[in-house]
């Protein structure tokens, strides 16, 4: 018997946790680190029983993989996970035929508990927001697991030391090369410049890059202030979607717009990541208070975002 899922975000990704599921196997034709980051963030406090997550990305032999997507998965594999996640594994199908199936299989104590299949890839547009248009169905968890296990021998972990010999990496965007360097001018692309100082001309005492500068907070916690006009413009994704920022010094950050009235851009998995990044660029020690003088000594008081696509941005904090 096949049952159509009405609220596939809740039923597929969260409700099995209430039945003490402790392991999730995902085979998805397409997947992004932004979706995985969103899921890790949103599983917070939804289970007292830490779970294992196993993800296989299926269409890599057909479409290859962009540098930003691959490096995003690598970053998540190396990151400090919340206590709700016991382990995280990510693999790519490397042999043809590519896998176009989407399977979400939950285990409890080593036994298949529930499974779902359908059109929803493991990407944010399938699970977040009001415009989702996916069909998902409950299916036999034992049969689904047999199919998943048949794919495993044709996969390689994303953090394999010689992954470049198994998959083809392509530039994230036509204006970037394989190392995410700019190939040409970006003046033809949409961009915004955000101030890192307040209207008074100073850095926020307990906001912005100094968000964590208060008792009981981790001092590196930070956010980039986002004016209401820009937040409402549609330039950045809202509804707490995660997006990728490729920086001018070839780092990669996963960001999210949040707080009341969408006033802040943060690193959602760990708020301190953004503060540590800017303090490193400014030549300050971790936890240091960021002053306007430090920004001016570095060479700028703003940061520029260039929109490459709906989930990928180029973040320029180079010295002016």
Sorted by sequence, the CB contacts under 8 Å of residue 231 that are 6+ apart come out as: 238, 257, 261, 262, 263
165 and 195, same domain (yes or no): no
Tell me, what's the pLDDT at 131?
Answer: 60
Is 210 in the same domain as 73? Answer: no
Ordered strands of the 3-4 beta sheet: 3-4, 136-139, 111-118, 103-108, 23-28, 51-57, 85-93, 155-157
Q: Is residue 254 part of a domain?
A: yes
Classify strands 51-57 and 23-28 as parallel, antiparallel or unpaired: parallel
Q: Are residues 106 and 216 in the same domain?
A: no
Are residues 210 and 135 part of one domain? no
Q: Which CATH number goes with the domain that contains 87?
A: 3.30.870.10
pLDDT digits 0-9 by tens, 169-179: 999 888 888 88
Number of domains in the chain: 2
The proportion of the chain whose per-residue pLDDT surpasses 90, expressed as a percent, equals: 83
What average pLDDT does this structure show over 279-286?
96
- Label residue 3 by pLDDT band (50, 70, 90): low
Residues 164 and 236 in one domain: no
Show the CA angle centred on residue 306, arms to residues 305 and 309, nearest 5°: 120
- 258 φ, ψ to 5°? -155, -165
Boundary (domain end) residue, out of 137, 170, 203: 170
Phi, psi of 163 (to 5 degrees): -60, -30
Task: Residue 304: give its domain's CATH number.
Answer: 2.40.330
pLDDT tens for 149-196 read: 999 999 999 999 999 999 999 998 888 888 888 777 677 789 999 999
Please tell me the predicted confidence (pLDDT) of residue 1. 47
Q: What is the pLDDT of residue 183?
A: 75
Q: In this predicted structure, which of 126-130, 227-231, 282-286 has the lowest mean pLDDT?
A: 126-130
Residues written for the chain: 320
> Is the predicted pLDDT of residue 316 greater than 90, yes or no?
yes
Please check whether residues 202 and 246 belong to one and the same domain: yes
Kindly state whether residue 185 falls inside one of the protein's structural domains.
Answer: no
Has residue 56 got a pLDDT over 90?
Answer: yes
Tell me the whole-structure pTM to 2 decimals. 0.92
Instruction: Look at residue 45 in the predicted model and tell me its pLDDT.
Output: 75
Average pLDDT over residues 95-109: 96
Q: 11 and 113, same structural domain?
A: yes
Do 277 and 166 lie in one domain? The reply is: no
Query: Same domain for 149 and 290?
Result: no
| Same domain for 230 and 147 | no
Provide the 10 A C-beta neighbour count for residue 14: 16
Percent of the chain beyond pLDDT 70? 97
Q: How far is CA 153 from CA 94, 99, 144, in A?
A: 10, 13, 16
Looking at the fold, whether 71 and 157 belong to one and the same domain comes out as yes
Render pLDDT for 14-47 as a digit per residue (tens, 0 to 9).
999 999 999 999 999 999 999 999 999 999 878 8
Average of pLDDT values for 253-262?
Answer: 94
Q: Which domain holds residue 88?
A: 3-170
pLDDT digits (tens, 9 = 90+) for 72-95: 999 999 998 889 999 999 999 999
Same domain, 228 and 166: no
């Amino acid at each position: 018997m096949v049952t159509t899922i009405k609220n596939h975000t809740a039923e597929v990704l969260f409700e099995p946790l209430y039945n003490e599921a402790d392991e999730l196997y995902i085979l998805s034709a397409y997947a992004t680190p932004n979706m995985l980051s969103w899921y890790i963030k949103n599983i917070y406090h939804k289970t007292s029983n830490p779970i294992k997550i196993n993800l296989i990305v299926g269409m890599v032999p057909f479409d290859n993989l962009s540098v930003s997507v691959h490096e995003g998965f690598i970053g998540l594999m190396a990151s400090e996970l919340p206590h709700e996640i016991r382990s995280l594994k990510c693999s790519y199908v490397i042999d043809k035929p590519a896998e176009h199936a989407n399977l979400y299989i939950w285990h409890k104590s080593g036994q298949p508990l529930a499974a779902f299949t359908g059109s929803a890839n493991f990407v944010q547009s399938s699970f977040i927001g009001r415009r989702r248009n996916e069909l998902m169905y409950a299916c036999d968890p034992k049969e689904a697991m047999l199919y998943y296990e048949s794919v495993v021998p044709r996969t390689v972990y994303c953090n394999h030391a010689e992954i470049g010999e198994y998959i083809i990496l392509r530039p994230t965007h036509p204006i970037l090369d394989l190392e995410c360097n700019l190939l040409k001018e970006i003046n033809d692309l949409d961009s915004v410049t955000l101030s890192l100082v307040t209207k008074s001309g100073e850095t926020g005492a307990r906001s912005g890059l100094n968000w964590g500068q208060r008792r009981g907070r981790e001092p590196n916690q930070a956010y980039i202030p986002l004016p209401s006009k820009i937040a409402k413009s549609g330039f950045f994704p809202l509804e707490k979607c995660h997006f990728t920022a490729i920086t001018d010094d070839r780092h990669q950050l996963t960001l999210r717009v949040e707080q009341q009235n969408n006033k802040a851009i943060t690193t959602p998995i760990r708020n301190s990541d953004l503060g540590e990044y800017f303090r490193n660029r400014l030549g300050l020690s971790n936890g240091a208070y960021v002053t306007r003088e430090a920004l001016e000594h570095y060479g700028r008081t703003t940061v520029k975002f260039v929109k490459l696509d709906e989930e990928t941005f180029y973040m320029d904090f180079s010295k002016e």
